[in-house]
Structure 1
Amino acid sequence: MKTLFFHGITLAVSMAMGCASEPLEQAPGEEGFALIQRDEHTLEATYRSGAATVRVLVDEAEASVVDVTYDFGDALIAFHVDYNQGTGDFMPSGSPLDAAQAQLLERLLEGITKSVSPDGQRTRVEETAIRQTSFMQIVPVGEVLTPYHYVSEHAWTHISCACGTQYIGSGYYRQAGRGCGCDGGGGNGCKGRCGQGCGITSTPRCVGTTAYTQDCAKHDYGLGSFQAASDDYTFASNNCSCSGVGTCN
């Protein structure tokens, strides 16, 4: 059985995230990434570190309508993404995320990236898994989260891939673009990237998206909320390559 989320005024979990084939499951206490199921319409995986575990289920319930759940045990965060309508819903429940749970997401994203098709060849489910897990990395820790609805291209605008001072929207000009040195003087390069860090420095290389947008830049500089960047993470196209010079892009 899979976890199903129903889109509407009320959204409920019908079953806990369910059965997977035994040989692919982690043994009790075993740490690391495990791919439980992957086919054209479903991807299920876990990452465990110490006492903290996250399980993700991505299910294309109908053509281009995808439900995504992240189950941390005491916290559950779900997305309902309708690519036909260009809309998304963020649906958290349970306890706020803690730092240990948040740290699982980087490794989960790396494991998913290793397990799916290369960029440009991914199924809808694979691409959604990459994008929503990238988005999960910026969900606030220690805060009570509330549901909200977001719309494709409601506010997202690409920025230049070339690092430099550029307009990032809402009257702000900041350094943004590819490169570990493109950090505005405050560390954490690749400002404006819809994903943590620079991607190319991850193992494997180029983890996450290569979408660079105004709202992602504002979030990076603490000038905009993660809610405002939601549609960027989910829907913004990859406007930059991941073939940077040296060790960063």
Structure 2
Amino acid sequence: MKALWLCGITVAVAMSLAGCSDEPVGSQDEAEGFTLLQHDETTLEARYGAGGASVRMLVVETESKVVEVTYDFGAPVIGFHIDFNQGVGRFNPSGEPLDAAQSALMGPLLEGLSKAVPVEEAQRTRVEDAAMRQTSFMQIVPVGEALSPYEFVSERGWTHISCTCGNQYIGSGYYRTAGRGCGCTGGSGNGCKGRCGQGCGITSTPACVGTTAYTQDCAKHDYGLGSFSAASDDYTFASNNCSCSGVGTCY
């Protein structure tokens, strides 16, 4: 457990070092929009700023199949330690609660990332896939609530649901409309209910970003029947059971 915390501290230090450059202090932080700062086999760093709020994301594969992901808002800083060898992850928040302006940065950041990495998940590096998955997860982290660290384990498993939109069992005694499609809203919010990733609206046709995994825990969260933490392992580890038809189409 101590090793997990040390890894989180390491990422925080790496984030600070990554910000050092010959540019005038504050020049990057004041920029609006999406900026890809570094992108190679083991590191992906990007920033998004809007309306005075900004976030810097750093994803580093520190050793084989061990990835550190950090979202630095200044305050808070939210990190993930993901060990794919052990199938274990840890959510490491620090500082103040996430506010609405900071949470709103996640969608545009995800869109920027989706243009910088391959559309097909199978073609992505581990850091690219982790960046997409964890940024998708960051969209459901509660706003205005004190966040506590916790561990999530892939071996506890997840249960896929059908890709076809319809009334289906989503666990814990609940039946709800879920499955692919921008029109698969179940009368409640965005479409693509049950998807462990960004939803989609009836009138929008967003890029296929995040994962194409549809699971019971993600569906329960979409309907307010399950916690964001219960969906952590689904977002991070669940295999993609539904295909993605590409950019500009409902999924």
TM-score (normalised: structure 1): 0.89
Question: Is the contact between residue 167 and residue 173 of structure 1 (CA under 8 Å) also seen in structure 2?
Answer: yes
Counterpart residue number, 1:90: 91
2:146 is the counterpart of 1:137:
no
2:74 is the counterpart of 1:77:
no
2:14 is the counterpart of 1:12:
no
Counterpart residue number, 1:33: 34
Question: Is the contact between residue 36 and residue 44 of structure 1 (CA under 8 Å) also seen in structure 2?
Answer: yes
**Distance change in 2, residues 1:184/1:41 (3 Å):** same
Counterpart residue number, 2:148: 146
1:23-56: CA deviations, max 9, x gaps? Answer: 8x96563210001111111110000112100000
The Cα shift of 1:237 comes to 1.0
> For structure 2, which runs of at least 5 residues remain unmatched after alignment?
none
Task: Give the 3-state SS of the residue equivalent to 2:17 in structure 1.
Answer: coil
Task: Give the 3-state SS of the residue equivalent to 1:12 in structure 2.
Answer: helix
Match of 2:95, as an amino acid? G
Matches within 5 A, 1:1-249: 6-8=3-5, 12-13=9-10, 15=13, 16-19=15-18, 27=28, 29-119=30-120, 120-198=122-200, 201-202=205-206, 205-243=207-245, 247-249=249-251
RMSD: 2.3
Question: Is the contact between residue 166 and residue 173 of structure 1 (CA under 8 Å) also seen in structure 2?
Answer: yes
The Cα shift of 1:209 comes to 1.2
Q: Matched residues, percent identical?
A: 67
> For structure 1, which runs of at least 5 residues remain unmatched after alignment?
none
The separation in 2 between residues aligned to 1:207 and 1:26, in whole angstroms, is 29
Question: Is the contact between residue 97 and residue 143 of structure 1 (CA under 8 Å) also seen in structure 2?
Answer: yes
TM-score (normalised: structure 2): 0.89
The Cα shift of 1:155 comes to 3.8
